[in-house]
Structure 1
């Protein structure tokens, strides 16, 4: 079994694009968001919960699309129904065993996945490492201003609200995405403290966006994958992934809707704003929290 690769990052950190790019490597298989390690048993993915980034129908879309593609070679309403039956037959299995079955099925290709929900709770990441002791973990960072602005632009900051990223002021409570940016990255750092250094890598998403051939090549060498021109060229086309589009009506998602509607990579240099300016989403003119600034500087911003 080839050791899988997991991208760890808060949502809106270039994870969809970079996951799809790595997944287009000829030796890899880029998965949609499986969210399997959100819960211990598969049946729990069919039970609605009230916890952070809890389960709803959309949470299962990535798994259903992956099973349809891996076992049937296509994603249609019929193959998604087959995938649903596949899951029903395994409803009492652990999610760890289901994930291992998928990884075995695509062997010798290397599974590449990102589910931002894993970063909500360190227990989810520990479960990944327990299941795959040889897994590699790519910590993907994004400047807090860029990530927080992106979160606030998506459904009016619903994600930040959903994970209780809220600031309580004297007369009201407001959505403040900095809390999530900071806490999820701290969860990742605390988890990676338990992982051997050789199995982890940190990279700034902005660097990949500005010079993908160089940084994708670095990632490939770390993973022990080919880094020749042909492999790099294939990774420059994330839109060719079978999951880089909306799925059938009964499994539409499995990824960020913005990515699904426009998965083509367009080379560009990302502007990295200063850390000492007012936060664009705040009405009071205040800037980034000191702990956010300190962590951003640790990440090289």
Structure 2
């Protein structure tokens, strides 16, 4: 059996790719981009979903296979990775992930995941894969998350239907919807699994006291004394997946990693509030009461 995997679960734009990158620079861990692997049970189904997707869902898996098995992430290696995955189209996705975990062993596989928290069936598949998985539930204040997410959504031609507020016409993209859905789904999921190993931590904790937050994380993951040696690291640029991939597979990381925020968006994001009108809504409304209630449970004000 390979070492227990680590899965960072979070709502979109909560910092999961950044945290994976920080962990991925450490010798005992191997962090990959977002694989979106739990969208299907079988590899052939997963590849069909990737082919039909209007987004970059398949890029992270292709980049990972290209890097691990073919020594790089350029067009030639990506083409070889596609063939490698097609050869395994008859397998279960869990078997594919087992193969990746074995490839990086004795390092522990670290997977950031922002798709599964929005889809309970994907969380069930994740749980069925490895019962010994350790989960990091990363969350961010809905205001800070929403300011950045809303700015990115403005330039998107394709916005998932479940990111939209249908009380208006035309429906309005609203980042508080996926924030609430993802975090509520994760809370319910973990509540039904009393034996699950999960740490809930705020992304703001790394801004407030990076060393303390990372030490807490290292203790949870039982990384031992080596944690102190990397508790001062904040820069994930050395992570092998930190940059965008080539044209054939540019994605794999959350867009917040490279999205160019305006000074105004960043200024708003740095002053989180729960009781003010939302700057991304033209109707002057604030957060839904359910969002406020959950945010307060997470100790946000």
1:82 pairs with 2:80: yes
Residue 105 of structure 1 aligns with which residue?
Answer: 103
CA contact (8 A) 1:119 1:188 kept: yes
What is the aligned partner in structure 1 of residue 299 from structure 2? 300
- Per-residue deviation at 1:72? 2.7
Partner of residue 142, structure 1: 140
The aligned residue for residue 24 of structure 1 is 25
Q: Displacement, 1:172?
A: 4.6
Corresponding residue for residue 187 of structure 2: 189
Are 2:290 and 1:284 equivalent residues in the alignment?
no
> Could you tell me which of 253, 256, 268 is aligned with 1:255?
253
Q: Distance in 1 between matches of 2:191 and 2:84?
A: 36
Equivalences for residues 9-158 of structure 1 within 5 A: 9-48=10-49, 55-56=53-54, 58-156=56-154, 158=156
Name the SS of the counterpart of 1:251 in structure 2: coil
1:223-266 Cα deviation digits (max 9, x unpaired): 01134432334x4331001100122332221112442579xxxx
| 1:120 to partner: Cα distance | 1.6
Q: Distance in 2 between matches of 1:246 and 1:171?
A: 35
The structural deviation recorded for 1:74 is: 2.1
Mark the CA change 1:55 to 1:45 in structure 2 (over 3 Å): closer, same or farther.
farther
Match of 1:7 in 2: 8
Matches within 5 A, 1:144-223: 144-156=142-154, 158=156, 161-169=159-167, 172-196=170-194, 199-223=197-221
Deviates more, 1:287-296 or 1:204-213: 204-213
**Which consecutive residues of structure 1, in runs of 5 or more, have no partner in the other structure?**
263-269
Between the two proteins, the alignment pairs up a number of residues equal to 290
| 8 Å CA contact 2:3, 2:105 repeated in 1 | yes
What is the Cα deviation at residue 57 of structure 1?
A: 6.6
Q: Quote the offset at 1:115 in angstroms.
A: 2.3
Q: What's the TM-score once normalised by structure 1's chain length?
A: 0.88
Paired residue secondary structure (1:47): helix
Residues 170 and 101 from structure 1, CA distance in 2 versus in 1: closer, same or farther, beyond 3 angstroms? closer
Distance 2:284 2:22 in 1: 37
Conserved? CA contact 1:213–1:232, under 8 Å: yes
Report the TM-score, using the length of structure 2 for normalisation: 0.88
Q: Distance in 2 between matches of 1:72 and 1:300?
A: 45
Separation in 2 of the partners of 1:218 and 1:160? 38
Change (3 A) 1:61 1:171: closer
> Residues 166 and 74 (structure 1 numbering): CA distance in 2 closer, same or farther, change over 3 Å?
closer
Change (3 A) 1:249 1:188: same
- Aligned pair in 2 of structure 1 residues 139, 159: CA closer, same or farther (>3 Å)? farther
Q: Is the 8 A contact 1:160 1:176 kept in 2?
A: no
In 2, Cα distance between equivalents of 1:258 and 1:296: 21
Q: Could you give the per-residue CA deviations for residues 88-110 of structure 1, whole angstroms, max 9, x where no partner exists? A: 11011111110111011111111
